[in-house]
Structure 1
Amino acid sequence: MRLRFVDKQWQQGQRMVIYGLVFLIMTLLILYSSNSNNDVYNQFKVTEFHHIVKNTDLKKWAGKEGYIPVHGNKSMNLHCHQCALVTSSSHVLGSHAGDEIDRTDCVIRMNDAPTSGYESDVGNRTTVRVVAHSSVFRVIRKPAEFFNHSENTAVIFWGPSTKIGREAKGTLYRLIQRVSMTYSNLSFFIISPSKMPKFDKLFQKETGRDRKKSQSWLSTGWFTMVIAIEMCDNIKIYGMVPPNHCSKHPQPKRMPYHYYKPRGPDECVTYLQNERGRRGSHHRFITEKQVFARWAKQYNITFTYPTW
């Protein structure tokens, strides 16, 4: 009887150990899964914690001499007290911010984001439009949308000089030149070859990462934000989500990446795939937004729709 009792106790002890191990393993798996979902955000915090940032005075960073007129001898000397930077995010839909945006001193837009049909949410005025070399064709093939309705608008093109620079004399440059001569009421500029590398150096200084080595492409948002800081005393940004938005639990509801492409890719899926991508070059949207959050404290920048 004594042996049978001891044996029973030993079996119960074994079960308790096994149950304990199973519980421990399950807990570790849950924690691992949670951490995997937050990899991007956690990488952010580590990067920001270990990388010591020296404040860059973007007001004096490069100056306006870095903008080359495509036609004529116009100069990029625009200065605005209050700017509205309207993103292409679908978060602007339903904001009814159009009138507020149009009342702002200067309105800045990106690439081929339209206003027609979306005026109640994004307004109709455009003071500056920043266009990537990859978006030139999409902008130029819709002159009625992007040029006919504009007066005294500056269009700033950015990209490698091999694609849009004067010395390239390729298809893109000829297209830009032709349009600039046709629409003389507008001012067309190309970011100079000497200024383009400065955007890369700024990215490295602010993030601690070499853009080329980390296989990153700077986004149009990066160029637009820097340009806006150069020319504006105060900036209100419409539609930009905070850097931790896509790591929230539960996951945010699906939102199209562009407000004018309702069937386009999901915004968070696009952000996370680009941030995690290691094969080929990707935009680091989330990393850039982390920098923007820091710049907001230096340069009178506020965010709305959503507010953060």
Structure 2
Amino acid sequence: AVTERTVPGWLGPSDPLKLHCEVCSVVSSSGQMLDQAAGPEIDRSSCIWRMNNAPTRGFEHDVGHRTTLRVVSHTSVPLLLQVGVYFIFLANDTVYVVWGPLRNMRKDGNGIVYNMLRQAVEKYPQARIYITTEERMNYCDMVFKKETGKDR
């Protein structure tokens, strides 16, 4: 399982996130997307993955308007929650996958990001928020270190 559901009071594993996509578009938050007029092509994809809090409103011509899945770093969670009405109510069919260091994602009451996500699900019960599993984060940390020679 790559991700697991975050729900109020939930402390154990849940069903993994499963998406069935024929064609995926992965849209970064890079400024290189500007003036590329890729929006219509992106929106034709069956699944559209977006990174962090990159906006679509006002940039539809370049980045499209649909979002299937948004991958959010632990550092972006406070902004996500601050503008929750935009991200969660206007894009309520979007699945959010949050990743971060295990110290922030701890489920024992000491994980600051995990605690914020629990509050978000309580406030927005229709939100579909998943977190990466410990195994997946360990794997990503290993790849990052191997590629960069640095620990996060």
> RMSD between aligned alpha carbons?
2.1
In 1, the alpha carbon distance for the partners of 2:106 and 2:15 equals: 17
Unaligned runs of 5+ in 2: none
Please, what TM-score do these two structures have when normalized by structure 1?
0.44
1:198 to 116, 128, 139: 139
Residue 123 of structure 1 is matched in structure 2 by 64
Please, what TM-score do these two structures have when normalized by structure 2?
0.84
Structure richer in helix, relative to its length: 1
Residue 147 of structure 1 is matched in structure 2 by 88
Give 1:131 deviation, angstroms.
0.8
Residue 250 of structure 1 is matched in structure 2 by none
In 2, the alpha carbon distance for the partners of 1:160 and 1:75 equals: 19
Q: Is the 8 A contact 1:127 1:152 kept in 2?
A: yes
Give 1:113 deviation, angstroms.
0.6
Give 1:75 deviation, angstroms.
3.4
Give 1:90 deviation, angstroms.
1.0
In 2, the alpha carbon distance for the partners of 1:192 and 1:167 equals: 15
Over the matched positions of the two proteins, sequence identity in percent amounts to: 32
Give 1:89 deviation, angstroms.
1.0
**Larger gyration radius, structure 1 or structure 2:** 1
Residue 106 of structure 1 is matched in structure 2 by 47
Q: Write the deviation string for residues 227-269 of structure 1: whole angstroms up to 9, x where unpaired.
A: xxxxxxxxxxxxxxxxxxxxxxxxxxxxxxxxxxxxxxxxxxx
Unaligned runs of 5+ in 1: 1-64, 218-308
Q: Is the 8 A contact 2:109 2:115 kept in 1?
A: no
Partner amino acid, structure 2, of 1:169: N
Residue 19 of structure 2 is matched in structure 1 by 78
In 1, the alpha carbon distance for the partners of 2:16 and 2:147 equals: 32
- After TM superposition, list the pairs within 5 Å mapping 1:144-183 onto structure 2: 144-183=85-124
Give 1:156 deviation, angstroms.
0.7
In 2, the alpha carbon distance for the partners of 1:137 and 1:201 equals: 26
Partner amino acid, structure 2, of 1:70: T
In 2, the alpha carbon distance for the partners of 1:158 and 1:171 equals: 13
Q: Is the 8 A contact 1:116 1:145 kept in 2?
A: no
In 2, the alpha carbon distance for the partners of 1:190 and 1:165 equals: 11
Residue 283 of structure 1 is matched in structure 2 by none
Give 1:202 deviation, angstroms.
3.6
In 2, the alpha carbon distance for the partners of 1:135 and 1:180 equals: 16
Residue 78 of structure 2 is matched in structure 1 by 137
In 1, the alpha carbon distance for the partners of 2:39 and 2:125 equals: 27
Q: Is the 8 A contact 1:92 1:122 kept in 2?
A: yes
In 2, the alpha carbon distance for the partners of 1:178 and 1:169 equals: 14
Distance verdict in 2 for CA 1:68–1:165, change over 3 Å: farther
- After TM superposition, list the pairs within 5 Å mapping 1:209-288 onto structure 2: 209=146, 214-217=149-152
In 2, the alpha carbon distance for the partners of 1:78 and 1:108 equals: 11
Give 1:165 deviation, angstroms.
2.6
In 1, the alpha carbon distance for the partners of 2:123 and 2:100 equals: 22
Q: Is the 8 A contact 1:162 1:168 kept in 2?
A: no
